[in-house]
Structure 1
Amino acid sequence: MAIMHHLLLVVVLLIASTLHAASSVTTNSAVDATSATAYDILEQNNLPRGLLPLGVKSYVLRQGAIEVTLPGLCDFNVTLAGQQYIIRYDPTVGGLIRPGSLTQVYGARIQLAFDFLAFDQVDRVGDQISLHGGDNKFFKNKSFPVSNFAQSHKCNK
């Protein structure tokens, strides 16, 4: 199972790097390339802008796939019921964006207990944002109020 996950990640990264080489900002017909930011793309798809931290350098959007470039590794804290969770993004994160969801997410992890575990899907259902761990037997789902992502977070790293 881990080999298939790594293979999928390699394929997605190869596709993403090809898209990135084609253009630093590519858009579909519903987005104005001269004014839309990666944060705008999230909001246009009913996702909160705070899913991305402050400081996005660039993004590529093509045929529903979004890839975002950050200045470097980024950790930020999200609080739920008094407990702090750390979300970590690699310098490049992305996935397939649709109204209310991101699927095939790569470059994103959440710290649970003592380890960072990848999540491969983000869904908005009403006022909740759910992070899904996919096939991970230690992490299936973690939900947060949308308000935790109303504003973009500053990276701790």
Structure 2
Amino acid sequence: MRFPNYLLLLAVSAAAAAAAETPTAYEVLQTYDFPVGLLPKGVTGYEIDAGTGKFAVDLSKTCTFVIKGFTLKYKTKITGTIANDRITNLKGIQVKILILWLNIVEVTKTDRGDGGGELQFSVGVAAAGFPVSSFDESPQCGCGFKCNHRSSGFGRFPLLQL
């Protein structure tokens, strides 16, 4: 009877080790030469087909924040196709331009000779570029990259300290 218990323990240990080696969605971004900050904090899971690059990322909730004057909205499901330095067929990320919400459909990364680079976010008819270094960290829902205060959960109004 001890032999089957040993096999069960071995199988559980192997499964746990395999799960521990599964990269996070943020680490997968880095394998395609993108910074982790393309995804906000709160990823709960992802799927990727390594052969085609098709992916789906799940967030715990819809996520909205401001980056460099642009309001971005990430839906709970983000899909697209990823390759080195390029994400196409992107769905689930929007940017607010004046009063309109436009879908970001493509993200490309260009490198400069000095080790820096730029990310281009395209809505189809127009694009905006930002330094790659601006996305070294993942933004947080509600406050983006500027989360130095505690938030009440209602936009950018800090909690009153009593």
1:78 alignment partner in structure 2: 67
Conserved in 2, the CA contact under 8 Å of 1:123 and 1:131? yes
2:129 alignment partner in structure 1: 143
Q: 1: CA distance between counterparts of 2:73 and 2:39?
A: 11
Conserved in 2, the CA contact under 8 Å of 1:110 and 1:118? yes
Q: In percent, how many aligned pairs have the same letter? A: 28
For normalisation by structure 2, the TM-score amounts to 0.68
Q: 1: CA distance between counterparts of 2:135 and 2:58?
A: 19
Q: 1: CA distance between counterparts of 2:134 and 2:79?
A: 20
Q: Are residue 61 (structure 1) and residue 48 (structure 2) matched? A: yes
1:57 is paired with a residue whose SS is strand
1:153 is paired with a residue whose SS is coil
1:97 alignment partner in structure 2: 82
Q: How many residues align?
A: 118
1:154 alignment partner in structure 2: 140
Opposite residue 129 of structure 1, the aligned amino acid is L
Q: Are residue 111 (structure 1) and residue 96 (structure 2) matched? A: yes
- Write out per-residue CA displacement over residues 31-58 of structure 1, whole angstroms, 9 at most, x where no aligned residue: x983301001111101111000001000
1:125 to 73, 96, 110: 110
Instruction: Report the CA distance between 1:145 and its aligned residue.
Output: 1.1
Instruction: Report the CA distance between 1:114 and its aligned residue.
Output: 2.1
Instruction: Report the CA distance between 1:70 and its aligned residue.
Output: 0.2
Opposite residue 119 of structure 2, the aligned amino acid is I
Opposite residue 48 of structure 1, the aligned amino acid is P
Q: 2: CA distance between counterparts of 1:148 and 1:94?
A: 23
Q: 2: CA distance between counterparts of 1:147 and 1:76?
A: 18
Opposite residue 107 of structure 1, the aligned amino acid is G
Say which structure, 1 or 2, has more relative contact order (CA 8 Å, 6+ apart): 1
2:93 is paired with a residue whose SS is strand
1:39 is paired with a residue whose SS is helix
Q: 1:111 to 1:92 in 2, by over 3 A?
A: same
Q: Are residue 34 (structure 1) and residue 21 (structure 2) matched? A: yes
Moved over 6 A (4+): none
2:89 is paired with a residue whose SS is strand
